[in-house]
Amino acid sequence: MTTAVHGASVDIPTRDGIADAYLSHPDTRAPHPAVLLYMDAFGLRPHLKAMADRLAAAGYVVLVPNVFYRHGRAPVVELPEFINPAERPEIIGSLQPAARTLTPEGAMRDATAYLDWLVASPLTTGGPAGVTGYCMGAGLALRTAGTHPDRVAAAAGFHGAYLASDAPDSPHLLADRITAELYFGHADQDATNPAEQIDRLDTALTAAGVRHRGEVYAGARHGFTQADTAMYSAEATERHWTALLDLFGRRL
């Protein structure tokens, strides 16, 4: 039987302002484990809210912040109901001003605020949280696990971008601080996460003794979980749900 959920818009105070967010939780009186869900670049929109609802129905309190809140409340740009960057390349360009407002340092100040808010909520059990992220959000999930090792029990990333780049602040460089168990579902058709970066991430996590698993989803494109985009794969998305719920079920 599917658990009924309740979803609502909430505002999260941060050191840099007010982050608008979506909160979904089981419609029961009992507290549940907290999950922080990081958006892709297209941002907080109906599809991500539906993903949060599905995760909440599995027994979690799910917070989806608009990480571009410094630029404006969601939606930060006008989006079509179906997103196809090949036909509408200007959409990617229109997101760049918003993306530039989010630095790694700012993102981790925000992560502190999001985790504080979840712990303080009577809806949650108050224990360590789970984190999952999509596209750019996968990097935020990895960075959050490394920045808050005592507050994140499990973290996952799907079709992540630039997880183990040559940049001096690449998120994989935090591997030696991570205590959470990690899972990554990589797209094999993804210019933002080529095979050498997948290998570099695995090597860093293995060397640091981090319990983790990374899988390459054959035939999947960058963005494969996003049903309102041309990159969507129903098969890969269901595989993602199986892996994510297994991770959270064991660790949360």
Q: Which residue range is the domain that position 88 belongs to?
A: 5-251
Residues linked to residue 18 through DSSP beta bridges, in sequence order: 13
Indicate if the pLDDT at residue 2 is higher than 70: no
- The dihedrals phi and psi of 152, each to the nearest 5 degrees, come to -125, 120
Q: What is the mean pLDDT of residues 112-139?
A: 97
| Residue 92: strand, helix, or coil | helix
Total of domains in the chain: 1
Task: Give the integer Cα–Cα distance in Å for 132 and 248.
Answer: 10
Indicate if the pLDDT at residue 245 is higher than 90: yes
Indicate if the pLDDT at residue 96 is higher than 90: yes
Q: What is the mean pLDDT of residues 26-33?
A: 95
- Of 133, 108, 110, the closest CA to residue 38 belongs to 133
The mean pLDDT of the chain is 96
Task: Give the integer Cα–Cα distance in Å for 96 and 173.
Answer: 25
pLDDT band at 1 (very low <50, low <70, confident <90, very high): low
| pLDDT reported for residue 232 | 97
The CATH number of the domain holding residue 203 is 3.40.50.1820
Angle between helices 104-120 and 136-147 (to 10 degrees): 70
Strands of the sheet with 5-14, listed across from one edge: 5-14, 17-26, 61-65, 34-38, 129-134, 152-158, 181-189, 212-221
Percent of the chain at pLDDT exceeding 90:
95
Greatest alpha-carbon span in the chain: 48
